[in-house]
Structure 1
Amino acid sequence: MSPTNDMDIKQDPDSPSARREALYLTLAQVPPGRVVSYGQLAQLAGLGRAARWVGRVLGQLPQGSALPWHRVIAAGGRLSLPAGSPSGAEQRARLRAEGVLIQHDRVDIRRHGWRPMEHSG
């Protein structure tokens, strides 16, 4: 994640770097064992209905990023990364290591979904 000057965000909250920073800051808060949909992540980051944009940005994260990209799934709990792909296999392995149950390429959102107000303590 590239550092962004707070002044840049205050001056132009709609700039691409400010939008990415808001996304990264929100994603970093998703705790282990919890998942969030692309659309929910966009809303929580203050980006409105930008689910597809979130997917594109996450697809461009540098190799070895510390952000928990694997905790972002499609609407309804569906895993959108193909099971046979390296990134899909990595996502499934990471989620399972965190105790997330995956059945038929789906995660039970009621059980594993991140609800910030509920999980904030």
Structure 2
Amino acid sequence: MKLQNFTVLPILCAVVFLLSGCAARESVSPATSVPGAVPAALPFNEQVAALPEGSTQYFAESPFGPSTIEAGPFYRSGLGNECRSARVTRGSMSHRFALCKEQNGAWRFIPTVFESMPR
């Protein structure tokens, strides 16, 4: 072997060693927060279900847009589910809806069919 090969080999090893050390180094930018670490806001249905009976609450974001929700009483549906009636008011529009608790514990929005029928 030539003498040049013996001098190039240690230099090549040193370069690989330095580059691998640089790649393993942590970034100097600040760590970003983990999305799961911040508690998520309750969904609209859960918030309405938690309201005290007879109370009204303004919601800037809801399925109806910015509106006021009045929490009605809890009741048992014909299927035996725990439900709650509520009234939404947005401007001059006002109608009832219900929330019913499913088997998995989540509250599901139930539109009131009879309110939209002609009288």
What TM-score bracket applies, with the shorter chain setting the length?
under 0.3
Give 1 or 2: higher strand fraction.
2
- Greater helix content: 1
Q: Which has the higher contact order (CA 8 A, sep 6+)?
A: 1
Question: What is the TM-score when the length of structure 2 is the normalising length?
Answer: 0.27
| TM-score, normalised relative to structure 1 | 0.27
